[in-house]
Amino acid sequence: MAYSDKVVDHYNNPRNVGTLDKSSTEVGTGLVGAPECGDVMRLQIRVNPETQVIEEAKFKTFGCGSAIASSSLATEWIKGRTVEDALAIKNTDIVKELSLPPVKIHCSVLAEDAIRAAIGDWKKKNGAAEAAAAAASAQ
Amino acid sequence: MLKDADSAVPVACWSCSVQHDEVTMFCPHCGKIQPPPGGDYFSVFGMEPRLNLDLAALEGEFHRLSRRLHPDRFARATECEREWSLADTALLNDAYRTLKDGLRRTEYVLTLHGAGNGTHIGSGFETQIAEEQNGKERQNASRAPADLLEEVFDLNMQLEEMRLRRQSGNVDRQSGKVNRELIEDLRAAKRKFETLREEVDRDLRGAWNDWDGGAADTRRRAQTNLRTLLDRRRYLSNLVRDVSEALGE
């Protein structure tokens, strides 16, 4: 199957590959996978607690070219956005940008799910942190 | 959609007009060839859906039907009969390929019971799945359990590290020793993945027994279990493949 130029570009020069400190409260981690093709994708964000802006995004994906390209593109797109703006990204946007064929649509779904999972993890951590802070100030 | 294994509706033979309610490629009354019957792949062989399948009986029935459907036998038949012999043969081949292999059979049974995942296997029911796939894609994409993903991710990281070390070891060629250690590490990793896969296969056979013998409740639990095991097996097979590639095998 022929990959589009954009997929090849992201595959050969993946943006934002790497790891952020999982234990930091500013960092959210999303780990998702597609059993049908055996892909695993980890996407991490570091959010500025003042502005809610995603200042850093990193990913590591084991899988096909489309899965790598989808997650690479996802990190590019969410960087500089607020958490709420990042949630507006749809898998169909990724499909369009990368011209993914129908059999590779699940790769874009995976990338969208990874964004949501990372933000969900960050919210959970910070919801918990806020609750702890509120409890502490109440005492 | 796959047709339901509902053979209660009587069918009238096109030739002798006698009604019957069997899933069959030949009229039980006059023996004339019939168009491809509805029903599941098991019923093509006159078998009950079971995961522990009598493979010898399956093969015997496959050969018997293949001979009976052979195009040479229909050289002088009507055009309809000639077409049906080809269509029946295609169905027979799809059914046999799917049922003779334990993993494909399991996947097929899960598909029949609405717990399939649209994996690319076999041919016959694959196209039907592909049509449904777009709708199901959403809920399926990240269905894998979190602990499995963590484990697979870590194993992949280890494997990648070993592969990178192997590449750099090849480049500077300072000593054969480093390389030998890496190859040993990779071989150990491969053995580990293979052992894990064998464990999955053992668990699969256990779940087959649960599914075959269980009441509705047990059966539903077995289906969930089978789905998880098939997913895990796929990840492990990919890891075995990747480590074999890294070893240059």
Query: What digits encode the pLDDT tens for the residues B185-211?
Result: 888 888 988 999 999 999 999 999 999
Q: Which residues of B44-55 are buried (b: 16+ CB within 10 A; e: fewer)?
A: bbebebebebee
A99 to chain B, closest Cα gap in Å:
16
Question: Which residues of chain B fall short of a pLDDT of 50?
Answer: 1-7, 118-142, 171
Ranking A3-12, A69-78, B68-77, B125-134 by mean pLDDT, the lowest is B125-134
| Mean pLDDT (whole number) for A83-108 | 93
| SS3 state of residue A87 | coil
Helices B79-100 and B124-140: crossing angle in degrees, nearest 10, is 50
Just list the catalytic residues of A.
37, 107
Instruction: Tell me the C-alpha distance between B64 and B15, whole Å.
Output: 22
- Which of B:159-188 have CB within 8 Å of A? 160
Instruction: Tell me the C-alpha distance between B164 and B156, whole Å.
Output: 12
For the record, the structure tokens of B99 come out as: 């049922």
Helices A105-138 and A65-78: crossing angle in degrees, nearest 10, is 40
A109 touches chain B (CB under 8 A): yes
Answer positive or negative: Cα dihedral of A50, A52, A57, A60.
positive
Nearest to B146 by CA among A48, A39, A31: A31
Note the pLDDT of residue B8. 55
Fold of A5-125: Sufe protein. Chain: A (3.90.1010)
Note the pLDDT of residue A44. 97
ipTM, two decimals, is 0.83
Note the pLDDT of residue B2. 46
Note the pLDDT of residue A50. 93
Tracing tokens 């062989």 back to the chain, one arrives at B45
The stretches of chain A forming alpha helices (DSSP H) are: 5-12, 65-78, 83-86, 91-98, 105-138
Each residue of A37-54: pLDDT tens digit? Answer: 778 999 999 999 999 999
What is the maximum span of chain B, computed from C-alpha positions, in angstroms?
Answer: 83
Instruction: Tell me the C-alpha distance between B122 and B74, whole Å.
Output: 28
Fold of B11-140: Helix Hairpins (1.10.287)
Query: How far from chain centre, in Å, is Cα B113?
Result: 14
Between B28 and A129, where is the model more confident? B28
Closest-approach residue (CA) in chain B for A30 = B146
- Mutation to test the B interface, candidates A29, A37, A40, A124, most B Cβ within 10 Å: A40
Note the pLDDT of residue B53. 96
Answer positive or negative: Cα dihedral of A13, A19, A20, A22.
positive
Answer positive or negative: Cα dihedral of B12, B14, B16, B21.
negative
- pLDDT over 90 (residue A58): yes
